Structure 1
């Protein structure tokens, strides 16, 4: 079966549920490839397999609900939560990751929740860590919704339109070539994001040692 025919037979409801579920679970603090799933779904939308608006909407709902549940869990269990996660997922929740995330939260407050949606390691920390650090829920919710809408909507729209433009240019070329163009676009996006993260790390490294005494964020 031709790849296009195979894609057309994927039930759209399966894609929508998968997007919402994976992003929601990732936002709880479980390391899953939420961004990859969202990009893949947006590519399917550019091939008219699913509706891009519903893809973005499911991603937003998953992100907001997942982060909110993660916030509640973090607020209830505190630092012991990260100790348990560190034993289970040492590559994602090691002491250096926790320290880096806390530094970002204490420096940026609620904006760490917003911008954290665009940074892989902060995306899985945002909800639980905001709860652990006792960020007021109304501040968390505002940043959570704004970040979820901007990240999910922006990613879906960008990948969708790149796919549409590439498909028009390559209308008479195989879908292998189309996939290659899309992969290059995704790689370029990841490179730019990595450079932004490196810039953030350099800025954090330039901060004076010691820091401020630990207090509830935004209180």
Structure 2
């Protein structure tokens, strides 16, 4: 029996989630996807690596959920991702201004909100699609959309496109790579590290470029 601390430690290991929870793993996956896109604390949760691992364990997910096609599993995950963004939009719409006044804590960093706003200002509503593939931005972009109160209809169009693109591309990548290379499961930790690195690299580079630009200007 896992205690609460052990549970949260293992929660960041996508492979453990599918092996430990078995038949209920899909519901854990859906809860994490919703939390990651619906609440600002969600940036701490595994997103891309979890979806990729879900693709690898796709057959098990289908068997444990009425033997539905994998296509249906992806649609369910995409639907929850859409709902998560809607929750984020509502959070920003209702309390966005208060978030800017909120003090930093372990679960909340104001800089993440500001970075997401700068990102949104640059790419406008397409940021909702791009942010799906970027940690931190994925959690804060819908909140920013709510704060600046963009049209909900416009928000939903990009929300749906982004959710479908994100879930289908990453989950299908894991699914078909596993079929081509069955031994993939034995090296999953390295693949997850690669995914984390490739998704965070653009953020790291952007921060470094901004720092260099500030030095030149000063």
Structure 1 length as normaliser, TM-score?
0.73
Determine the structure 2 residue equivalent to 1:119.
134
Partners of 1:88 and 1:202 in 2: CA distance: 23
Match of 1:180 among 183, 186, 205: 186
Q: What is the CA deviation profile of residues 109-144 of structure 1, one whole-angstrom value per residue up to 9, with x for unaligned ones? A: 101111111111111112211101112112211111
Deviation string 1:34-90 (CA, Å, 9 cap, x unpaired) is 334323322211xx312332332222011100111221121112221354484461x
How far apart, CA to CA, are the structure 1 residues paired with 2:56 and 2:195? 14
Contact 1:27–1:66 (8 Å) recurs in 2:
yes
| Alignment partner of 1:100 is 2:112 | no
Secondary structure in 1 aligned to 2:181?
helix
Query: SS of the counterpart of 1:109?
Result: helix
Q: Does 1:44 find its partner at 2:63?
A: no
Which structure carries more helix by proportion? 2
Residues 1-219 of structure 1 correspond to what in structure 2 (within 5 A)?
A: 10-11=22-23, 14-29=24-39, 30-31=41-42, 32-45=45-58, 48-51=59-62, 52-84=70-102, 86-87=104-105, 89=107, 93-167=108-182, 170=183, 178-202=184-208
Report if the CA contact (8 A) 2:135-2:200 is conserved: no
Q: Which blocks of at least 5 consecutive residues in structure 2 are unaligned?
A: 1-17, 63-69
CA gap of 1:40–1:15, structure 2 versus 1, over 3 A, is same
Gaps of 5+ in 1: 1-5, 171-177, 209-219
Instruction: Return the offset for 1:26.
Output: 1.4
Give per-residue Cα distances to partners, 1:175-212, cap 9 Å, x unaligned: xxx4333333333333322333334435656779xxxx
Cα-to-partner distance string for 1:96-120 (whole Å, 9 max, x where unaligned) = 2222111111111101111111111
Cα distance in 2, alignment partners of residues 204 and 187 from structure 1? 26
In the alignment, the residues of structure 2 paired with residue 202 and residue 196 of structure 1 have an alpha-carbon distance, to the nearest angstrom, of 10
CA distance in 2, matches of 1:206, 1:138: 39
Contact 1:163 1:182 in 2 (8 A): no
Q: Is the 8 A contact 1:19 1:34 kept in 2?
A: no
Q: Which has the larger radius of gyration?
A: 1
